[in-house]
Structure 1
């Protein structure tokens, strides 16, 4: 297992930093799932923390060859509320829900952690 935690800034550049850290963690851990899915989920979680949360988010990743857990912590106690997806309300939580095997949020200290887990789907075995 590969684990990393990084304190991001409360700037939009944090999204790029989070994606770069995730890309590196996926490669170093040998994660066999779709890397683009994990990068999209990280972008959504960090964006939500920056837009709807408070303070600088903290990214925590635990990655293995077949599973990745992504956590983003911020200082707002307000838990995310799924909405009808669209241009006005965004698609963030719906994207996370579709791409992950499970997700959730938990209060932590004065803030919260929003997390999700993705799993690599084994390639089909074709009989000859």
Structure 2
């Protein structure tokens, strides 16, 4: 599931099924604990849930989750095979809260295109206590 790329990056390739939301949340919890995250973990988990859910509902193929912890921020990226750009809808129970939640909780967010799809990314302020890389 999760592959540690360095002391501050985790990447997960998720199946195209709603159960992947729970797996993404657990990988995020594990990364935040390992990195010594001292902020509002619930906010990071909510952002991950929203982005992975959007990828599963509005795109095709299993999404990829990438978390990067840096000095003062956490970057969340969710890649999918969808061609469409995410569009905020009217917030509420019918269409969900999705991108409105992302906009409220994050310092910035956007999309980038890549061959075969897109990545929706966002950044949150993050007090981290990253350990020095070993080896």
| TM-score, length of structure 1 as denominator length | 0.89
> What does residue 86 of structure 1 align with?
92
> What does residue 103 of structure 1 align with?
109
Task: Please list every run of 5 or more consecutive structure 2 residues that lacks an aligned counterpart in the other structure.
Answer: 1-6, 128-135
> What does residue 131 of structure 2 align with?
none
Return the alpha-carbon distance in structure 2 between the equivalents of residues 51 and 103 of structure 1. 19
Shift in Å, 1:33: 1.5
Q: Which runs of 4+ in 1 moved over 2 A?
A: none
Aligned length: 121
1:70 and 2:94 aligned: no
Task: Please list every run of 5 or more consecutive structure 1 residues that lacks an aligned counterpart in the other structure.
Answer: 122-128
Shift in Å, 1:66: 3.0
Return the alpha-carbon distance in structure 1 between the equivalents of residues 45 and 59 of structure 2. 20
1:46 and 2:69 aligned: no
Return the alpha-carbon distance in structure 1 between the equivalents of residues 103 and 126 of structure 2. 15
> What does residue 31 of structure 1 align with?
37
> What does residue 116 of structure 1 align with?
122
